[in-house]
Structure 1
Amino acid sequence: MLFVSAAMWAAVAIRHGHTQITFGPVEIFCGAFTVFASAIIFLRLGLYRAVIRFMGQQAIWAVITAVSYSTLVLAASVFLTQAAVPRAMPFIYWGVALLLVGGSRLTVRAWYQARLRAKSRNVIIYGAGESGRQLVTALHHGEQYRVVAFVDDDPLLQHSVINGLQVARPEDVKRLINEHNITQVLLAIPSASADRRREIINSLVGLPVHVRTVPRINELVSGRASVNQIQDVDLDDLLGRDPVPPHPELIDRCITDKVVMVTGAGGSIGSELCRQILTSGPRELLLLDNSEFALYQIERELRELKRVTGSSVDVIALLGTVQNQARLETIYRTFGVQTVYHAAAYKHVPMVEYNVAEGVANNVFGTWYAAEAARKALVETFVLISTDKAVRPTNVMGASKRFAEMVLQSLAERESGTRFCMVRFGNVLGSSGSVVPLFREQIAKGGPVTVTHPEVSRYFMSIQEAAQLVLQAGAMGTGGDVFVLDMGEPVKIVDLAKRMIRLSGYEMRMDQHAQDHIQIEFIGLRPGEKLREELLLGSNVTGTGHPMIMRAEEEGLSYKQMNRYLLELIEYCDTMDCAGITSVLTAAVSGFSRHETRHDHVWCKQGRAGRVTLAKPKVPAAAAVSNVQELFPDKL
């Protein structure tokens, strides 16, 4: 209330033109009453609660209102008591009090913002639409960013001023970066088409700025994200391909009003399948995973998605392994499962190379047990998630996935009420173990970014598009079908690394001394890795009703041949005989070459120790099948 007292004294002094002023008892009473009443007014209007550094237009109006009420109180007290003060004094008081009360707050706010500007990073917002305006408002309340300007390609907005910021042309970006030491460009164009986003990102590649973005429009509309949740550029934009809109009738055919189960539900592919299945209205959605933490995470996420979307689908989390056929069959029968998406597998190439027996047990026998249990429980549709590494494989993981495909092909020969099919595609951007999160982590640490070989290339697809196509392909299967997704053109890994480095605001370097540069280091191909992947064993491929899904005509094994190979594999897995496992895979899988060097940790350790008798671990034959003769009736 010091400012109120000072304002009254200053008002009288200004009116009289001097500071030698004496007040009588009546005048002192009027002043004291005004100070007391003003304190109550300021308190009720929230002036003491407002955080000065966040003071905006609403707070300024509150100051004007409070000072106006205080002036009315002063004028009323002077009039009622006939105090000996000039009649113009209340009007002068209003201006002085407003200057002192409001000006002091604005001064503190300006001082605080000046300190923030010294510490914050200068950024440009690309997009002056509604999202851009919301973003600049949100950033003004933070300490991390200082928005210098908008950039927009709409001629009607260019050269205008929005939220106090100039709207520049796209051609001015480089100049703005140089003049204002811009460190980041924030894309606020959530509703832009994929082509337009790609054009904008390509125009920014090579500039010394980190390019980031607000979430896509579908994430904003669904409530999964807000406009101020700035993130790195979408993986779809890095991929450089346009996803084809899904065919809803294909997605719904195996899902809507059906009991659907996803194995490996906590993994990258499995969890995305679950998200998309939930939105298609199944009667029940069963999640199976052997990782308690992964299962907990996806169940919690789906329950939150249910809350946001208002879905009434029952989501049931089930701990279990696909190597336990008895439990799988019990689950199928108990819940009346109609559709199974089998995503449970070990997919990391070097990891399976170092753990051959367990990798084959999970990928081959896990598929066999899940499919055989589905056949016995009369599940309608069983879809295997496969990989391009199954084509002429050079590693155990790829060979095991091709063997799993042939398991389903052999089962499809038998009279059964279950439709078996498999969907084969390449690398999924952003999945666990993929290069994109690895590169981002390495860039955040300042490098180096590690690439196995300058010529290594891979097919890529976003995880959302891959899951959509899997759901659609599953509806097309007639029995034993191998579906191949159109992955577009292969992408060189080193080009992907360079693009990510540039979008992070760095340049590449080959030495270790240049500043603001990230080094790319070539570390050599890992065990079982090859330079280029393929999607087809041959050229015998036909189209389907979807432009991105093809049907491959590939030879498999007869049911009797498959039984023989499975019997051999189950014995070699029991004894952890990697040489035996490799020999079976070589004989059964077309194009798979026997390893000259074996990398399995246990196998190598036992060989060095000179052991003759191998320990018998708990592997699928013992853990999942109580009666091997029931599983292989043709051979035993």
Structure 2
Amino acid sequence: MRVAYRTKVIIGWDLAAILLSLAAAYIMEPAASEALGGAAGWLLYGAASAAIGFWSVTRHRLHRRIWQYTGIAELKCILQTALLAALIPFVAAWVLQGQAQTLLMLHHFIGIAALMAGPRIAWRAFCDKYSVKKQPITRRALIIGAGSCGTLIAKEMQQNDGVNVTPVGFIDDDPYKHRMQVLGLPVFGGRGDIGCIVENHRIDEIVIAMPSVSKTQISALVNICKTTKVKLRIVPDLQDMIDGRGASGRVRDVSVEDLLGRDPIRTDLEHIAGYVEQKVVLVTGAGGSIGSELCRQIAPFAPSKLLLLGHGENSIYNIEMEMRSVFPDLPIETVIADVQDRTRIDAVFAKYRPQVVFHAAAHKHVPLMERNPAEAIKNNVFGTKNVSECADAYGAERFVLISTDKAVNPTSVMGTTKRIAEMFIQSLDKHSATKFVAVRFGNVLGSRGSVIPRFKDQILKGGPVTVTHPEMVRYFMTIPEAVQLVIQAGSFAKGGEVFILDMGKPVKIYDLAVDLIRLSGYEPNLDIDIAFTGMREGEKLYEELLTNEEGLSSTMHNRIFIGRPAQLNRTELDFEIRKMEKVLGQHPDEIRAVLQHLVPSYRNVGTTAVG
């Protein structure tokens, strides 16, 4: 009843506004009454105007709009209603009687607009002024970006009781906006003024509200802001909002990914679709960080069937539920299997006949594999051997091995086993109709067991953040970024290549720790300590992307390069792999000796291991 009563009151007021403004117009223009034929003409004119106004009000649903949020859209509808209610009777009078008063129509139009819009604007202003937060403000925010997104964020901070942050002002690089005000808040200046503004206005956090700018620009802003020692937050970029990785208007903490500053990858959709679309695609290690992202990014290319193969039932179940929810029409098969089990892998290939294989299943943790070298060989070498030989035997079109920069001049068992896996598929390619290629890249941000989640957990616990060596550097890439390039590299496969992804500039791990601490709103070695623990077994200070015998040539993609295929003797390689199989149960030093014979560039730094 309350809604119905409110609707009647609003419509009644709008109709009254039309008639009152007409009466005022006649008072201002008394000659109009005679021109319309006296009182009868006046009443007919008013009835027509009210009927047209009523139709326009209901058509634009002005009676259904909440006045508290009156804005440009409502004002446009009000102006349209005022114009129709004033203009149509005027035109009709002119056509029927051959004369009409233009000033009458103008006064009528202005009166309708003023009486309909006035109360709505007044109520909006009242609500804006008195919709203050009930809880005390605990944090003061500086917003970077005085555009539409920054304005929305500031308004939400001002009015939302659930947000204990108040906006202090804006930063914007547009000089026209400097010394101006938005929502009553000053635009202090450009990015060069951030430091002094944070200090002078006691800023507790900075919000970057520029979702449409490039990642390079965001990176530059983050690098400026992180020196201020206040907490940084950011509105997700537009592509993240579209892809569902960020909610519109939701502010998130700034992440290390924002510091990389790499713009979105240019993807050749036509070439990718050409080798994935309507094909049976197998992803091994589908429950892992890389494998699951492969599934997400392959699915939009409409394979005829997507096979999710993994050893852990929980991780496979999770990615299956996600894929069925997001891609309900995509045929999906889940396969619980161990790549070390040749009989099982053979049965999978015999049943499904995959045409494209992405082999992501691997043991990847360097220190763990140093202590368990036999397991690294079983999974990374013999697992790859099983899957690749089945791909060859059952006529797969392409086989893409996910490799690592740790395979180059390796100092670890893990890196050495991945190099052997590369060598094996290269040798297999020489005698197979299947195109075998490897894609080599460095660390991915946010993968399970990687450095970023560990640092975040240590910061959450109050520190210390542990870094192995102050000079250790690594290449980093986001998981979606790496997987996009892996899928793209598969389209360039001619057979035998090792594709190397452009990882950008290497990052010093110590600097990464410092950045994460500062992005969390703390000061390194003051609020959160950084402790050096010494290099772990199998680690080296820096990673390389090419072996000595590999050259580097470009591809059609500006971030994918090709290492020259190694010259390998298949017979000798098979012999060495059989020898490796025989020493698996022996002492780790004997295992390492065989690895070093097979990969002469392997530098065994020595460690204590269990078999």
TM-score (norm 2): 0.75
Please tell me the residue identity of whatever aligns with 1:553: R
Pairing partner for 1:284 from 279, 294, 305: 305
- Between the aligned partners of 1:183 and 1:208, the Cα distance in structure 2 is 9
Pairing partner for 2:595 from 585, 590, 594: 585
Q: Is the 8 A contact 2:218 2:261 kept in 1?
A: no
Shift in CA distance, 588/136, structure 1 to aligned 2, threshold 3 Å: same
- Between the aligned partners of 2:287 and 2:211, the Cα distance in structure 1 is 28
Pairing partner for 2:451 from 428, 432, 435: 435
Alignment of structure 1 residues 378-457 onto 2, 5 Å: 378-414=395-431, 416-457=432-473
Please tell me the residue identity of whatever aligns with 1:150: F
Answering whether residue 168 of structure 2 is matched by residue 151 of structure 1, we say no
Look up the match of 2:489. Answer: 473
- Between the aligned partners of 2:357 and 2:3, the Cα distance in structure 1 is 66
Pairing partner for 2:150 from 110, 127, 132: 132
Shift in CA distance, 385/569, structure 1 to aligned 2, threshold 3 Å: same
Q: Is the 8 A contact 2:596 2:602 kept in 1?
A: yes
- Between the aligned partners of 1:157 and 1:105, the Cα distance in structure 2 is 26
Q: Is the 8 A contact 2:310 2:335 kept in 1?
A: yes
Shift in CA distance, 41/466, structure 1 to aligned 2, threshold 3 Å: closer
Deviation sequence 1:366-425 (CA, Å, 0-9, x none): 1011111111111110000001111111111001101111111221122x2211110111
SS in 2 for 1:123: strand
Look up the match of 2:574. Answer: 563
Deviation sequence 1:490-523 (CA, Å, 0-9, x none): 22111222222233333322xxxx4xx3222111
Shift in CA distance, 355/137, structure 1 to aligned 2, threshold 3 Å: farther
SS in 2 for 1:368: helix
Which structure 2 residue ranges, 5 or more long, are not aligned?
A: 8-64, 71-123
Q: Is the 8 A contact 2:588 2:609 kept in 1?
A: no
Higher mean C-alpha displacement, 459-468 vs 141-150: 141-150
Q: Is the 8 A contact 2:370 2:607 kept in 1?
A: no
Q: Is the 8 A contact 1:123 1:145 kept in 2?
A: yes
Answering whether residue 510 of structure 2 is matched by residue 494 of structure 1, we say yes
Q: Is the 8 A contact 2:309 2:336 kept in 1?
A: yes
SS in 2 for 1:527: coil
Look up the match of 1:31. Answer: none
- In the TM superposition, residue 449 of structure 1 has moved relative to its aligned partner by 1.7
Shift in CA distance, 354/412, structure 1 to aligned 2, threshold 3 Å: same
Alignment of structure 1 residues 364-383 onto 2, 5 Å: 364-383=381-400
- Between the aligned partners of 1:304 and 1:127, the Cα distance in structure 2 is 36
Shift in CA distance, 160/313, structure 1 to aligned 2, threshold 3 Å: farther
Deviation sequence 1:12-57 (CA, Å, 0-9, x none): xxxxxxxxxxxxxxxxxxxxxxxxxxxx7599769xxxxxxxxx98
Shift in CA distance, 127/525, structure 1 to aligned 2, threshold 3 Å: same
Look up the match of 1:245. Answer: 266
SS in 2 for 1:551: strand
Pairing partner for 1:318 from 318, 331, 335: 335
SS in 2 for 1:518: coil
Question: How many equivalent pairs are there?
Answer: 498
Shift in CA distance, 165/482, structure 1 to aligned 2, threshold 3 Å: same
Shift in CA distance, 532/175, structure 1 to aligned 2, threshold 3 Å: closer
Pairing partner for 2:135 from 111, 115, 128: 115
Across the aligned residues of Structure 1 and Structure 2, the Cα RMSD in angstroms comes to 2.9
- Between the aligned partners of 2:188 and 2:353, the Cα distance in structure 1 is 60
Look up the match of 1:534. Answer: 544
- In the TM superposition, residue 580 of structure 1 has moved relative to its aligned partner by 3.1
Look up the match of 1:350. Answer: 367
Answering whether residue 185 of structure 2 is matched by residue 165 of structure 1, we say yes
SS in 2 for 1:220: helix
Deviation sequence 1:343-379 (CA, Å, 0-9, x none): 1111110111122211211111110111111111111
- Between the aligned partners of 2:69 and 2:608, the Cα distance in structure 1 is 75
- Between the aligned partners of 1:393 and 1:543, the Cα distance in structure 2 is 24
Deviation sequence 1:438-465 (CA, Å, 0-9, x none): 2222223332221111111112222222
Look up the match of 2:480. Answer: 464
SS in 1 for 2:391: helix
Shift in CA distance, 154/297, structure 1 to aligned 2, threshold 3 Å: farther
Shift in CA distance, 576/193, structure 1 to aligned 2, threshold 3 Å: same
Shift in CA distance, 436/594, structure 1 to aligned 2, threshold 3 Å: closer
- Between the aligned partners of 2:502 and 2:296, the Cα distance in structure 1 is 22
- In the TM superposition, residue 242 of structure 1 has moved relative to its aligned partner by 4.3
Alignment of structure 1 residues 193-342 onto 2, 5 Å: 193-242=214-263, 244-306=265-327, 312-342=329-359
SS in 1 for 2:232: strand
Alignment of structure 1 residues 73-88 onto 2, 5 Å: none
- In the TM superposition, residue 156 of structure 1 has moved relative to its aligned partner by 4.0
SS in 2 for 1:287: strand
Please tell me the residue identity of whatever aligns with 1:465: E
Shift in CA distance, 44/106, structure 1 to aligned 2, threshold 3 Å: farther
Q: Is the 8 A contact 2:299 2:330 kept in 1?
A: yes
- Between the aligned partners of 1:187 and 1:301, the Cα distance in structure 2 is 31
Q: Is the 8 A contact 2:369 2:376 kept in 1?
A: yes
Q: Is the 8 A contact 1:261 1:341 kept in 2?
A: yes
Q: Is the 8 A contact 1:394 1:529 kept in 2?
A: yes
SS in 1 for 2:246: coil
Answering whether residue 540 of structure 2 is matched by residue 507 of structure 1, we say no
Q: Is the 8 A contact 1:255 1:277 kept in 2?
A: yes
- Between the aligned partners of 1:360 and 1:471, the Cα distance in structure 2 is 26
- Between the aligned partners of 1:301 and 1:147, the Cα distance in structure 2 is 38
- Between the aligned partners of 1:499 and 1:278, the Cα distance in structure 2 is 35
Pairing partner for 2:380 from 340, 350, 363: 363
Which structure 1 residue ranges, 5 or more long, are not aligned?
A: 1-39, 47-55, 62-101, 604-636
- Between the aligned partners of 1:508 and 1:107, the Cα distance in structure 2 is 41
SS in 1 for 2:499: strand
- Between the aligned partners of 2:203 and 2:129, the Cα distance in structure 1 is 27
Q: Is the 8 A contact 1:385 1:423 kept in 2?
A: yes
Deviation sequence 1:79-100 (CA, Å, 0-9, x none): xxxxxxxxxxxxxxxxxxxxxx
- In the TM superposition, residue 544 of structure 1 has moved relative to its aligned partner by 2.1
Q: Is the 8 A contact 2:537 2:605 kept in 1?
A: no
SS in 1 for 2:492: coil
Q: Is the 8 A contact 2:284 2:358 kept in 1?
A: yes
Pairing partner for 2:529 from 519, 534, 547: 519
Shift in CA distance, 594/531, structure 1 to aligned 2, threshold 3 Å: closer
Look up the match of 1:622. Answer: none
Look up the match of 1:178. Answer: 199
SS in 1 for 2:348: helix
- In the TM superposition, residue 428 of structure 1 has moved relative to its aligned partner by 1.3
- In the TM superposition, residue 107 of structure 1 has moved relative to its aligned partner by 11
Q: Is the 8 A contact 1:265 1:288 kept in 2?
A: yes
Look up the match of 2:56. Answer: none
Percent of residue pairs bearing the same amino acid type: 42
Shift in CA distance, 454/595, structure 1 to aligned 2, threshold 3 Å: closer
- Between the aligned partners of 2:495 and 2:342, the Cα distance in structure 1 is 22
Please tell me the residue identity of whatever aligns with 1:387: T
